[in-house]
Chain A
């Protein structure tokens, strides 16, 4: 117990003795992790947005005119038994005309001159969630397009692909920036540990001479690195939370993009805790790297 207390106190003394270095290390680590956090937030929010928008993605299967009701029912059966399909809704020619009149009342006179109802009957198809990716949707549409009685299949392919592409790029950027800035955080904390080691060289020599093991000597520095990393990470989350709230407020104030503020979310508590743990891990890694570099002679 006394040993544990000693090790924790030594880590605390290390940080207090090198106060300026400790503060600089926490701030720079927080800045580096906040940069990574921006990409993570962007990625998370876009994925959430894409997810909720994809739930609304409907594929319109327009039917050829002059199809018998038996043929239409056959096609409906085929669609409903398709494993990629979640739901099928039939819209008759008459229903389509009615909806057109409701949605575009000022243009409804345009159809009256044509005599016969020109709008086709259609199926509104909702695909199963696991088949809502652009590639899966495209493959399904190409397959349905060749079915007998189908005039045209329509869905907003460009939008869907664009969003998926954007998410992919942000994911890549988040990984790249994450690796780069995590390495920076490891280096910053490593250098802080190194400075602490050099400052306490004499003390380390004394500990070695009285029979302290290498692990015993190193533990306070490992703890210091982990605490610096956790503090840096927690601070970066604070900065990001502040930035997100400020952004929401600005949107509300300017009135532009109103409604979008409700869609912007911050990391859930579990992710926050995971990020603090990750920061702790980075700090620990920084100390390990530093101690390995300094070598056996010192600690």
Chain B
């Protein structure tokens, strides 16, 4: 299989403290990976580097065949169009309707009106909030807001979906629903990487787990397969 994400001896320091230290791993196309670790383990830093929001101090990162560390600033937006991102705080525009929020990545790409309508409707239906089209994010529950955020991240058919603590603000039932949604998206062929500190998420996932501790890749294993190096 092809590696869609590849980290080679990646290190990053924040104020002389190692946020990531010599991290090397690969994620294959179509995989579902959980990135586990406590707060400050380096999960968010790693995800930010995958969409070129941060650059490593050492090492190389490849995403969908592109060396992210060598991208020119003008190329970064085009990388981000291939990599959807879901955030713990949803990052929805409060004054725009659900539809407009989800349509944003397509507008940015210059999609036609017809395509926008079709793809947004499909994405909202996929996350089961298509009936809240015209509402503002503030009128939705936290679970629904997270669904809208996920719809926005998949609306333009990204090859990779990154989720940073997507269940951090949700109760266990909503957490299960969101993880099921990610599994569904993964089943359609999108590579999914979910970063979480919540061990309960493991209950719902029988997939590959990468564990980070203080910026060091501690272990890689499959849930239910035991821990390997």
Chain A residues in the interface with B (C-beta under 8 A): 1-3, 6, 13, 202-203, 205-214, 216, 296
Q: Supply 23 A–B pairs (Cβ within 8 Å), ascending by A.
A: A1-B112, A1-B113, A2-B111, A2-B112, A3-B108, A3-B110, A6-B107, A202-B91, A206-B93, A207-B108, A208-B77, A209-B51, A209-B53, A209-B91, A210-B80, A210-B85, A210-B152, A211-B80, A211-B105, A211-B108, A213-B74, A214-B73, A216-B108
Q: Roughly how many angstroms separate A2 CA and B91 CA in the complex, as a whole number?
A: 22
Residues of A contacting B: mostly = helix
A211-B80, A211-B108, A211-B109 given as contacts; is B116 within 8 A of A206 (CB)? no
Quote the shortest CB–CB distance from B55 to chain A (angstroms): 13
Q: How far is the CA of A213 from the CA of B80 in the complex (A)?
A: 10
Residues of the A chain whose Cβ atoms lie less than 8 Å from the Cβ of B80: 208-211
Query: Provided the pairs A211-B77, A211-B78 are in contact, do residues A205 and B91 lie with their beta carbons within 8 angstroms?
Result: yes
Q: How many residue pairs, one in A and one in B, have C-beta atoms under 8 Å apart?
A: 54
Since A211-B105, A213-B74 are in contact, a sample of 5 more A-B pairs with Cβ atoms closer than 8 Å, ordered by chain A residue number, is A3-B110, A209-B85, A209-B91, A211-B79, A211-B81
Q: Are A206 and B77 in contact (CB under 8 A)?
A: no
CB distance from A219 to the nearest CB of B (A): 12
Which positions 178-195 of chain B face chain A at CB distance < 8 Å? none
Residues of B within 8 A of A212 (CB): 77, 108
* Residues from chain A with Cβ under 8 Å of B202 in the complex: none
Q: How far is A207 from B74 in the complex, measured between Cα atoms in Å?
A: 15
Which residue on A lies nearest to B155, using beta carbons? A210
Task: State in angstroms the CA–CA spacing of A296 and B104 once bound together.
Answer: 21
Per CB-CB distance, the 8 closest pairs between chain A and chain B, nearest first, are A211-B81, A211-B80, A210-B105, A211-B77, A212-B108, A213-B77, A206-B91, A6-B107
Size of interface on B: residues with Cβ below 8 Å to A: 26
- Which of chain B's residues have a CB closer than 8 A to the CB of A296? 73
Chain B residues within CB distance 8 Å of chain A:
51, 53, 73-74, 77-81, 85, 87, 91-93, 95, 104-105, 107-113, 116, 152
Docked Cα-Cα span, A176 to B87, in Å, equals: 53
| Shortest Cβ distance from A210 into B: residue | B105
**Contacts of A2 on B, CB cut-off 8 Å?**
107, 111-113, 116
A203–B93 CB distance below 8 A: yes
A210 to B116, CA, bound (A): 15
Chain A residues, CB < 8 A from B77: 208, 211-214
Q: Is the CB of A210 within 8 A of B73?
A: no
Residues of B within 8 A of A216 (CB): 108
Q: In the bound complex, how far is the Cα of B13 from the Cα of A169, in angstroms? A: 63
Assembled-state Cα–Cα distance A202/B105 (Å):
16
Q: How far is the CA of A214 from the CA of B74 in the complex (A)?
A: 8
Note all chain A residues with C-beta closer than 8 A to B112.
1-2
List A contacts of B81 (CB < 8 A): 210-211
B79 to chain A, nearest CB (A): 8
Q: In the complex, which of the residues B53, B104, B111 contacts A210, with contact meaning CB atoms closer than 8 Å?
A: B104
Task: State whether A3 and B78 are in contact (beta carbons under 8 Å apart), knowing that A203-B93, A206-B91, A296-B73 are contacts in the complex.
Answer: no
Min CB–CB distance A9 → chain B (angstroms): 10
A132 nearest CB across to chain B (Å)? 58
Tell me the smallest distance from the CB of B115 to a CB of chain A, in Å. Answer: 10
- Specify the chain B residue showing the minimal Cβ separation from A203: B93
Docked complex Cα distance between A1 and B85 (Å) = 26
> Which partner residue on chain A sits nearest B85 by CB separation?
A209
CB-nearest residue of chain A relative to B105? A210
**Complex Cα–Cα for A248 and B177 (A):** 77
B89 closest partner in A (C-beta): A202
Chain A residues near B95 (CB, 8 Å)? 13
With most chain B CB atoms within 10 A of its CB, the pick from A2, A207, A208 is: A2
CB pair B91 A3 closer than 8 Å: no
Separation of A202 and B94 alpha carbons in the complex (Å): 11
Instruction: Report the minimal beta-carbon distance from A131 to chain B, rounded to whole angstroms.
Output: 58
Report chain A residues within 8 Å CB of B78: 211
Closest B residue to A212 using CB positions: B108
Q: How far does the Cβ of A189 sit from chain B's closest Cβ, in whole Å?
A: 24
Per the bound structure, the CA–CA distance linking A206 and B105 in Å amounts to 10
